[in-house]
Amino acid sequence: MARTTDIIIIKSIDQLPSVDEIKSISRERALKLVFKGNINKQRERIGQYLEHALSGFQVLIHTIDPELNIVKLITDREIEDNQYFFEQCAKDYRKLGEQLVLMLVDKLDLNLNKDFPLDTFNELKRDHQQIGTVGEWRYFAHGFHCGFQHLTTKQCIEVPLTFGLEFGDLDPYFFMKFILSSPDYNPLPIPLFDEYADGLRIINKMTTLGKFEKIPSNLPGHSGVVVTEREKVEIKSNLDLEKIFGKHIEEIEKKSKFNLWKFLGLKK
């Protein structure tokens, strides 16, 4: 969804809207403060003050242009009122992600590493198969995810590969892209504008409400968030994986300084 932008020219400090005035704007409107003359020298300091004073808002301090951009993010009340919608979206994300991964594994006749799917998908990168189509979807294996986009509807989903057979981890940006691109959710019950910032607030609040919960990852120092009401699967820790892989590669590591994580496409 697109916002309407209100532009205010700021030539002196007294032309700045008050914090209360800014708080009164709706989420459907964006505020752009354009600084002219000497007042621009104070722009960064003013932006930092507004960041502190405006809880629930996003204040962007432009690094080149003399402007501040301010928007109101989705509120806790709006998330609470639509919690069952966001919960269903998370369930749909998880279900579709699993279906697409298994469909791709079947098409390419891959030997899926159920403890660490990233290992299997890294093979696609080495075999130059990281981009292609499966059914009505285009896929792209990259980083810690495999992205899919429907060829007709353009629905998109990024499926995580570092949580064992748990494919429902919710990244704020990817979760919002999924919701906004899914035809079945239109019209949305609540306007969504900022794909990362709104997504982060939704995930944090849904976790507080108990609808989402944190889960461990295969990777050291990494965790995720998934819908609470689900059929739970075991997720091996990085130490468990070291033991599993170590049985087969311990001697190779000694002789050639082989590094498991580098082999899997990760740095360690």
Which whole-number Å values give the CA distances from 255 to 123, 238, 259, in the listed order? 23, 23, 11
Q: Are 19 and 31 in contact (CB under 8 A)?
A: no
pLDDT tens digit at each of 268 positions of the chain: 679 999 999 999 999 999 999 999 999 999 999 999 999 999 999 999 999 999 999 999 998 999 999 999 999 999 999 999 999 999 999 999 999 999 999 999 999 999 999 989 988 877 788 999 999 999 999 999 999 999 999 999 999 999 999 999 999 999 999 999 999 999 999 999 999 999 999 999 999 999 999 999 988 888 999 999 999 999 987 777 766 555 444 443 444 344 555 555 555 5
Indicate the burial class of 79 (C-beta count within 10 angstroms; 0-12, 13-18, 19 or more): buried
pTM for this entry: 0.86
| Six-digit token string for 172 | 């704020």
Q: What angle do CA 237, 240, 244 make, to 5 degrees?
A: 140
The residue type of 214 is K
* Rounded-to-integer distance, Cα 116 and Cα 162, Å: 6
DSSP assignments along 18-66, one per residue: PHHHHHTS-TTEEEEEEE-GGGGGGHHHHHHHHHHH-TTEEEEE-SSSS
In the chain, DSSP assigns E strands to 4-10, 29-35, 57-61, 67-72, 131-134, 137-142, 145-150, 156-160, 212-216, 223-227
* Rounded-to-integer distance, Cα 168 and Cα 52, Å: 33
The 8-class DSSP code of residue 7 comes to E
Q: Are 192 and 180 in contact (CB under 8 A)?
A: yes
CA count, 13 A, side-chain hemisphere, 201: 20
